Amino acid sequence: MQHRRPRLSKKAKSLAAATVALAAAAGVTVAQADESNKKCTAFDTITLGKYYVNNNLWGQDKGTGTQCVWDNSRSGSTVSWGTDYTWANNSKGTDADVKSYASTVLGWHWGWKADKAATGLPIRVGDRKPVKTTWDFAVSADPGAMNVAYDLWLHTKNTADWQDQPTDEIMIWLNRQGGAGPLGTKHSSVSLGGAMWDLYEGDIGWKVHSFVRRTNTTKASLNLDDFTQALVRRKLLSNDKYVSGIESGTEVFKGKGRLDTKSYSVDIG
């Protein structure tokens, strides 16, 4: 069973994406990154307390390339990690096909790998528990198409396991390069967390809700409950759903680049 299901995206608008410099003030530099624990096999994982880093190459059959992940540090609920990649389309793939989503995982991802109790998940949407998260990262894509995004998984029950397909997926795009675009069509716009977001709605066997930030950022301090409630207010999500998993990483369509996370945390309640 694949770890993530394919989704469509707009074709990259240009092969030449603007490169975002890995400035020391913005994130972990190449020189600072500790890559001694580098893992480059598909679906390799690195445990970081209540999280794990997943080298999630779910779309690799549509491309030719390599991707690795590594961890830098952990202090309490704050972690640092990185990934680098090189991807091109093969005969099966196009610019619209995601090749990978290397990411941190908190909670459910087609089952539970870390101690379920330690994750604080699942949580019922209607209980309005705050889900505070911070993310400070640096990103480069030269040339290529990719995004940096959160990915939330929701179920109708609080006992979801590996065999249970989600009913909803919520993506929160903080940064995108090379014309990468979300699944579906634009539904509305919303102001959350001090920024404007365009909300897209799609379906791949479950509903996909994508919040795309209008301006790129490399730092976020958000309450993810604000995003689930924005969907509830628009009658796109019901309060009786459960958030089972919270992930963060980069979806790569093509190109060469890297994501360096200086610090990342999720705290529930």
pLDDT in tens, 167-197: 999 999 999 999 999 999 999 999 999 999 9
Top CATH class, 45-268: mainly beta
Distance of CA 181 to the CA centre of its chain: 14
Q: What is the pLDDT of residues 137-151, one digit of tens each?
A: 999 988 899 999 999
- The whole model's pTM is what? 0.88
Residues with Cβ within 8 Å of 162's Cβ and at least 6 positions away in sequence, in order, are 1, 110, 111
Q: What is the pLDDT of residues 215-260, one digit of tens each?
A: 999 999 999 999 999 999 999 999 999 999 999 999 999 999 999 9
- Report how far residue 21's alpha carbon sits from residue 177's, in angstroms, rounded to the nearest whole number: 13
Cis bond leading into 143, ω under 30°? yes
Share of the chain above pLDDT 90, in %: 84
- Report how far residue 90's alpha carbon sits from residue 113's, in angstroms, rounded to the nearest whole number: 32
Q: Are 87 and 67 in contact (CB under 8 A)?
A: yes
What is the rounded average pLDDT of the residues 143-172?
Answer: 97
